[in-house]
């Protein structure tokens, strides 16, 4: 499997470098990286070398495809660039592993864009997946918390600390919450959407998630934080786990009540799932239906926050 990475740098919260590491560790050949400038691309390739990866630097997509002929394209560039890179990658015949949010631009209708992308991918027999990694940690969540019981009426809480502020926090963080809800509760719709945000660095989002005949009251708490470690916790019906990190050994833990358990890095599991889909031709875990659901609800939340923002401008 020959892999090229679009956006392998670490500007802000980029994880292209770590995606490349996991492809390499599980048998992928990371052959090239594409960046916006020669300087940043060389820096990205230099960072990849510490994992034993010798990637060739490029600043032009067409040149990279012509010279390297990648089988897989990792899209880890800013979300505003995803749509164009998705189309270019599929047109080149490459399978795609794309960071969340899958598409995020005002220029196109997201639902129509997703249908277009997957229509093109299916016609070429290509695998397309989105990296929304926290659903891959749900088995570990259940191990430390015990059985997760779904009631007629449920509650879900998640706390995140994105490295961006204002409205951008929604597209940066909320896909994680929506992916967890989808995997825990199934396909659903949202109603009673409410926001609280008195300044740009903090926001709370509440809504009711309707799935089947059941409901879930959702509370998403966001607070800007640039430095690691950033707080992260989530849970259903009061079974809330928090994440802790051991940076020295690069280990991830879940904490619940008085228990602490090391977990597999969910990013690694996300990459492995995509690689298995590539090898077998099966649908990846975060595939078309999941992506369509995630993006549809994300757009609804973002649109309604835009209206809220106009009615409640922040004090500068």
Note the pLDDT tens digit of each residue in 209-247: 999 999 999 999 999 998 888 999 999 999 999 999 988
- 154 and 120 in one domain? no
- 196 and 239 in one domain? yes
End position of a domain, from candidates 88, 103, 126: 126
- 234 and 195 in one domain? yes
End position of a domain, from candidates 87, 103, 126: 126
- 161 and 307 in one domain? yes
> Is 271 within the bounds of a domain?
no
- Containing domain of residue 190, as a range? 134-266+298-311
- 138 and 67 in one domain? no
- 183 and 111 in one domain? no
End position of a domain, from candidates 126, 158, 176: 126
Q: What is the arrangement of strands in the sheet containing 2-6, beginning at the earlier edge strand?
A: 56-58, 29-34, 2-6, 72-75, 95-99, 128-131
- 253 and 115 in one domain? no
- 114 and 89 in one domain? yes
CA 206 from centroid of its chain's CA atoms? 21
Per-residue pLDDT tens over the stretch 62-99: 999 999 999 999 999 999 999 999 999 999 999 999 99
- 234 and 159 in one domain? yes
pLDDT at 133 over 90: yes
The whole-angstrom separation of Cα 92 and Cα 73 is: 10
- 38 and 138 in one domain? no
pLDDT at residue 32, as a whole number: 97
Which distant-in-sequence residues (6+ apart) come within 8 Å of 279 by Cβ? Answer: none
Percent of the chain past pLDDT 70, that is, above it, reads 97
Q: How many domains does the chain have?
A: 2
Per-residue pLDDT tens over the stretch 170-222: 999 999 999 999 999 999 999 999 999 988 999 999 999 999 999 999 999 99
> Is 205 within the bounds of a domain?
yes
**Which one is predicted more confidently, 8 or 119?**
119
pLDDT at residue 316, as a whole number: 47
Q: What is the CATH number of the domain that holds 42?
A: 3.40.50.720
CB-based burial of residue 204 (10 Å sphere; 0-12 exposed, 13-18 middle, 19+ buried)? middle
Q: What is the CATH number of the domain that holds 238?
A: 3.30.360
Q: Within the chain, where are the H helices?
A: 16-25, 38-49, 61-68, 82-91, 110-124, 138-145, 168-185, 266-280, 288-311
């Amino acid at each position: 499997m020959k892999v090229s990475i679009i956006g392998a740098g670490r500007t802000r919260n980029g994880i292209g470098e770590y995606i490349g590491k996991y492809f390499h560790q599980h048998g992928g050949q990371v052959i090239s990286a594409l960046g916006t400038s020669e300087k940043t691309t060389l820096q990205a390739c230099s960072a990849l070398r510490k994992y034993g990866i010798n990637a060739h630097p490029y600043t032009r997509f067409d040149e990279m495809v012509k010279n390297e002929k990648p089988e897989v394209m990792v899209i880890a560039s800013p979300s505003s660039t995803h749509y164009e890179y998705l189309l270019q990658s599929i047109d080149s015949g490459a399978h795609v592993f794309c960071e969340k949010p899958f598409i995020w631009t005002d220029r196109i209708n997201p639902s129509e864009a997703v249908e277009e992308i997957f229509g093109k991918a299916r016609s070429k027999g290509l695998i397309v997946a989105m990296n929304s990694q926290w659903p891959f940690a749900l088995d570990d969540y259940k191990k430390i918390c015990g059985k997760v019981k779904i009631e007629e009426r449920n509650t879900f809480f998640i706390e995140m600390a994105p490295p961006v502020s204002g409205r951008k926090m929604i597209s940066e963080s909320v896909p994680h919450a929506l992916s967890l809800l989808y995997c825990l509760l199934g396909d659903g719709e949202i109603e009673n959407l409410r926001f609280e945000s008195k300044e740009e660095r903090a926001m709370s989002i509440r809504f009711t998630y309707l799935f089947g005949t059941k409901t879930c009251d959702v509370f998403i708490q966001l607070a800007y934080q640039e430095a690691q470690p950033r707080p992260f916790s989530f849970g259903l019906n009061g079974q809330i786990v928090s994440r802790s990190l051991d940076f020295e050994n690069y280990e991830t833990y879940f904490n619940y009540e008085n228990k602490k358990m090391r977990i597999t890095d969910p990013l690694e599991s996300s990459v492995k799932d995509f690689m298995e889909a590539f090898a077998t031709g099966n649908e990846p875990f975060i595939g078309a239906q999941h992506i369509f659901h995630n993006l549809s609800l994300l757009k609804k939340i973002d649109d309604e926050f835009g209206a809220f923002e106009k009615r409640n401008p922040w004090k500068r």
